[in-house]
Amino acid sequence: MSGAVAGPARIAAWTAGLTGLKRAAMGILLGAISVLAFAPFHLWPILFVSLGGLVWLLDGSYRSGETRTARVLAAALTGFWFGFGFFLTGLYWIAEAFLVEPWRHGWLIPFVMTAFPAGMALFFAGGCAFAMVLWREGPARIFALGLGLGLSELARGYVLTGLPWNLIGYGLLADPSLMQLAAVFGVYAVTVFAVLVFASPAAIWSGGGTPSRGSAALATLLLALVAASYIWGAMRLADATDTPTNFRVRLVQANIDQAEKWRPENATRIFETYLEMTERPGLEDIDVVVWPETALPFALDKSPDALAAIGDMLPDGTALLVGSARWTERRNDKGILLARHAYNSLMAVDDEGQVVAVYDKIHLVPFGEYLPYQDFLESLGVMQMTGVRGGFSVGTGPRLMAVPGAPPALPLICYEIIFPNEVRAEASPPGGAERPGWMLNVTNDAWFGSSAGPYQHFYQARVRAVELGLPLVRVANTGVSAVVDPHGRVLAKIDLDTRAIRDVGVPTLGLITPYAVWGLWAEFLALGIALLGWLVCRICTGPPRLTG
């Protein structure tokens, strides 16, 4: 065995042979370094190391188990440790929100930073356990891992309202040319492909014996497909034309500190800050001004003086889109209050200071905007991060929003934009109904400071634009605010922790994408190809035991 071959084989054997705490530590480390593939780093080749190492750890689980049950349990534990490292480093920034009001929530940080990544890690545990049921020598085990993690990442987008944050496929889409794959397949299907690509080179070695020729051939084929995808994506970008429109927006990023925002004595100053920034020169050429999620620390629709000031400020034909909390009451015939509901809303205000359209957020953040078993937990003194008594209520739609002086908008508040299939369902209405002319994402990422969270959120929003062929206008309280074209190219941006405005022409609507038409079928196709690959390998490889 040559030195070039013996080196990887020895590393594979050493990794597969780890046991106990060393094995757990290696799993956590591999999961943790995977996060470098995502925003703001985009060091996506690191996934060759992390997912390749996971293959070798699972090889060890397979060889060390005397029974199928033992192997599956060992694989689940390996996946759990990998997932724990992945979510601990990938979602560390959630702790920042608990430091906004540390006297209320700071004590929860140790529990959140252990229980939350541990809970999320169960998805990787399930994916690896599923893969181990199908584990076979040679290239078959790569298809098994693609199936297992592909299914677990899909489940992560739906179970318990879902959190498809930093899906593995986003790593492969980091490059602008490769990002174009999202227009054809969507990020869930790309996730299956990404697992196959990044895991396949390490799978050439199983920890002993000679390298697998079948695995080497598979790795070569997959890398060739990546190269072909890159060339196609680069050509798609080169052929894309920037067709100007007459629709211009002003992004207003006021950079209000979250700890200062909800103090009553700051309400007037914050409102005046937004007015002053909005009134800067050039407003007469703007069709729509956009302020971020919950921009104002009061209910705008219950504040006639504020609405009048907005009407006085806006030129004729200019509208304002502003995030604001909204309260409604239901009373009986005697005027007795029966119910009171709070909504996280987006309001359109015209040049006369009238609220002419409202969208209430539909997909709320658990523990951020509402609590499961709200009444019971509130009786114990537990409150969601927003501190709204009773929590926010779920909006009822419709989602498509008519904005004066603008094409129909698809409004998405905060993390609503990270749910691919929910957004696709609204962006591709059935029966030939009108598509929205643009996506509008307003958010308040100030909760998460200068961490990686706001960058990750912005990047996932860019991928939605590519998936659906829709231009994106995004305004965040502290950043990142931007206008993105239907190919994911950033046309204008306001960086994190910056107070600024940008006047930008919104690009034209792109062609409807294959993913927008196929949706879940693209994901089923990717899983079906992985299953077919496993079946072919299973037929060709004979006895289901790894060598070495």
Pairing of strands 288-290, 319-331: parallel
Q: What is the DSSP letter of 431?
A: G
- Give CA separation, 134 vs 69, 128, 185, 533, in Å: 12, 10, 25, 12
Pairwise CA distance, residues 483 & 480, whole Å = 10
Contact 212, 12 (CB under 8 A): no
Instruction: Go through the chain and tell me how many residues it has.
Output: 548
Contact 453, 301 (CB under 8 A): no
Catalytic residue, from 96, 137, 153, 293: name it: 293
Contact 351, 320 (CB under 8 A): no
Beta bridge partners of 440: 411, 473
Instruction: Give every CB contact of residue 6 below 8 A, 6+ residues apart in sequence.
Output: none
Instruction: Give every CB contact of residue 278 below 8 A, 6+ residues apart in sequence.
Output: 250, 252, 289, 291, 313, 320, 501
Amino acid identity at 35 = V
Residue closest to 443 by CA, chosen among 410, 496, 479, 391:
479
Pairing of strands 288-290, 248-253: parallel
Q: What is the DSSP letter of 370?
A: B
SS3 494: strand
472-476 sheet: strands from edge to edge: 409-413, 438-443, 472-476, 481-484, 490-494
Q: Is 414 a catalytic residue?
A: yes
Catalytic residue, from 128, 361, 422, 523: name it: 361
Q: Is 128 a catalytic residue?
A: no
Peptide bond into 366 cis (omega under 30): no
Residue closest to 256 by CA, chosen among 498, 503, 501:
498
Instruction: Give every CB contact of residue 279 below 8 A, 6+ residues apart in sequence.
Output: 313
Kindly state the tokens that stand for 116. 């939350």
Pairing of strands 472-476, 438-443: parallel
Which residues of 446-515 form beta strands (DSSP E)? Answer: 472-476, 481-484, 490-494, 500-505
Catalytic residue, from 261, 414, 426, 523: name it: 414
Answer positive or negative: Cα dihedral of 189, 191, 192, 197. positive
Q: Is 537 a catalytic residue?
A: no
The residues assigned a catalytic role are 293, 361, 414
